[in-house]
Amino acid sequence: MESPAHPHPAGSTVAADLTPQCVHCGLCLQACPTYIELGKEADSPRGRIYLMQARQRGRLPVAGSFAEHISACLDCRACESACPSGVPYGELVEQAREVVEQQLKRPFLVDALRRYVFGWVFPSPRILRIHFHLLRLYQRLGLQALVRGLAALKLIPARLAGMERLLPDLRGRAAPVELGAIFKSNGATRFRVGLVAGCVMNEIFAGIHHATIRVLQRNGCEIVVPSSQVCCAALHAHAGITATAQEMAKRNIQAFEQASVSAVIVNAAGCGAKLKEYGALLAHDPEFSSRARSFSQKVVDISEFLDGLPALSPPGRLELRVAYDDPCHLLHAQRIGQAPRRLLQQIPGLELLELQYPDQCCGSAGIYNITHPELSMRILERKVEDIKQCGPAAVATGNPGCLLQIGQGLRMADLSHIQVMHPLEILDRAYRSESFGNGRNPD
């Protein structure tokens, strides 16, 4: 068996053994989506921690079961909300993934693709945009229809076809927010805030950014979109690609320091969770540790920010039955559950419905739906069933992955009439409905 005492490279976050806090009580089991689906101890938080301990003690090699069960984790962190002992599971699983990343040999092509995507595409907004342009072209030229036709004829591997189906339709989407732009407040400026543009958010969900900007302007904010910001690196950290994640974090810290803003506002739960953890990501960096901590303290989710205002500018009437779905990285990682609900409840005419399991993962989990499509779909089916039982006109959820995943789930279940929206889009619509005065959709 290989040596368990794997030397930690400089800058690694793998340090103290955080696992002793787990007392093996098992109260986390039913919080874990993969345990609920598979019923296997090794696919539960308790089991995974046991594997981590076994690996640390040299009882278990990295390749094989360990790598498999660690990568099958959604990193949804619902177990953290259930754990009475406060085991920092998110940190533990990212450390374990770092070990897998460093020691596991992947097939050449997979490895090359991972290096390209994580090392080149995401760290550069420019290269990312080129890829999205290509994607748009692919859809506009009808190539997509062709590929889907071939998939139907089983001329393309099922796995690849499945991944292709996940592609969102990029035609007719709002133009991305320009990096470097500044948006003045409506009326007196009470706050100067920074907006995290993100990677996928700005390419696919720029409409949510525009809604966020309008709502902030309406509430006395001047919004800066720092030009040198990059992707938050949550995907990298979740995949255990720590060194790249640290470099990207540093660039973001510098970008927002230069913007001199009082708050760093993020409207994607996954990004928010990672940005709030920059302090931990760079804890051992002499130059950046304290800068990272003060940056993280400034990061607020948009719902948290608006909910914390002394008074929200009153929204207009919007007759809409909305079910709120908690993004895992908002509820479990940031402990924000009530703020978005309270915001929605301030909209006159809006009826807020509760799902039976609003706190359960939808199976999106970053790129999980690509790495583990089958399991991701099984988890999604539960979410769709819950929504179906609840019967809303719209589902509100504040994370791009969840928006795509739930949207796809509803389409597959012939429930496309249910809209999937970010809470800020709903709030924005309510503000804009004022001028129409009838609560109808102004779009």
Partner 1 sequence: MTVATSQPGVPRTEIRKELVALLDSERVLHTPEELLVYECDGLTLHSRMPDFVVFPDTTEEVLQIVRLACRHGIPFLARGAGTSLSGGTIAAEGGIVLELSRMNRILEIDLENRMARVQPGVVNQHVTRAVEADEFYYAPDPSSQVASTIGGNVAENAGGPHTLKYGVTTNHVLELQAVFPDGEVYRLGTAAGDPVGFDLVGTFVGSEGTLGIATEVTVRLLHSAPAVKTLLAVYDSVSEATQTVSGIIARGIVPAALEMIDKNTIQAIEAGVYASGIPQDAAAVLLIEVDGLEAGIDRQLEEILEVIGSRQAREVRVAGSAAERKKLWAARKNAFGAYGRISPNYYTMDGVIPRSKLPEVLDRIESLGREYGLRMANVFHAGDGNLHPIILYDIAQDDAREKVMALAGAILRCCMDVGGTLSGEHGIGLEKREFMRLFFSEADLQVMERLKRVFNPDNLANPQKIFPMRRGCGEMSSLSEDSRDRLSRSEEDPEFVRF
If one asks whether residue 286 binds partner 1 (CB under 8 A), the answer comes out as no
Residue holding tokens 């907006």? 195
Q: How far is CA 112 from the centre of its chain?
A: 24
Among 6, 8, 21, 243, the residue binding partner 1 under the rule CB under 8 A is 21
Q: Is 86 in the site for partner 1 (CB under 8 A)?
A: yes
Nearest CA to 382 among 354, 358, 411?
Answer: 358
Are the C-beta atoms of 299 and 272 separated by less than 8 Å?
Answer: yes
Please state the closest distance from residue 83 (CB atom) to partner 1, in A.
7
Binding of partner 1 at residue 85 (CB under 8 A)? yes
Taking the complex as a whole, the smallest distance from the CB of residue 235 to partner 1 amounts, in Å, to 27
Residue 374 Cβ vs partner 1, minimum distance, rounded to whole Å: 12
Q: How far apart (Å, rounded) are the C-alpha atoms in residues 255 and 226?
A: 6
Smallest distance from the beta carbon of 80 to partner 1, in angstroms?
8
Total chain residues near partner 1 (CB under 8 A): 35
CA-based angle 33:39:42, to the nearest 5?
85
C-alpha pair distances (Å), 342 with each of 159, 311, 336: 41, 12, 11
Q: Is 391 in the site for partner 1 (CB under 8 A)?
A: no
Report the residue from 9, 15, 26, 262 that binds partner 1 according to the rule CB under 8 A: 26
Q: Are 426 and 344 in contact (CB under 8 A)?
A: yes
3-state secondary structure of 374: helix
Q: How far apart are CA 143 and CA 135, in angstroms?
A: 10
Cβ nearer to partner 1, comparing 24 with 140: 24
Minimum distance, C-beta of residue 333 to partner 1, in the bound complex (Å): 13
Q: Which residue is listed with tokens 């390209």?
A: 116
When asked if residue 39 is in the footprint of partner 1 (CB under 8 A), the reply is yes
The answer to the question of residue 155 lying near partner 1 (CB under 8 A) is no
CB of 351 to partner 1, least distance (A): 20
Q: Which of 9, 64, 157, 308 binds partner 1 (CB under 8 A)?
A: 64
CA separation, residue 253 to residues 271, 329, 363 (Å): 14, 21, 30
Q: Does 41 contact partner 1 by CB under 8 A?
A: yes
User: Is 193 a residue that touches partner 1 (CB under 8 A)?
Assistant: no
Buried b (16+ CB within 10 A) or exposed e, 113-128: eeeebbeebbbebeeb
- Of 7-15, 62-70, 209-217, 236-244, the segment contacting partner 1 by CB under 8 A is 62-70
Position 47 contacts partner 1 (CB under 8 A): yes
Determine, following the binding rule CB under 8 A, whether residue 70 of this chain makes contact with partner 1: no
Residue from the set 2, 9, 15, 25 that interacts with partner 1 by CB under 8 A: 25
Pick the closer one to partner 1 by CB: 69 or 276. 69
Q: Identify which of residues 80 and 94 has a Cβ nearer to partner 1 in the complex.
A: 80
Q: What secondary structure does DSSP assign to 278-324, as a single string?
A: HHHHTTT-TTTHHHHHHHHHHEEEHHHHHHTSSSPPPP----EEEEE
Amino acid at 393: A
Does 160 bind partner 1 (CB under 8 A)? Our answer is no
338 contacts partner 1 (rule: CB under 8 A): no
Q: What value, to the nearest 5°, has the Cα angle with vertex 186 and ends 185 and 189?
A: 45
Contact residues for partner 1, defined by CB under 8 A? 1, 20-30, 35, 39-42, 47, 50-51, 54, 59-61, 64-66, 80-87
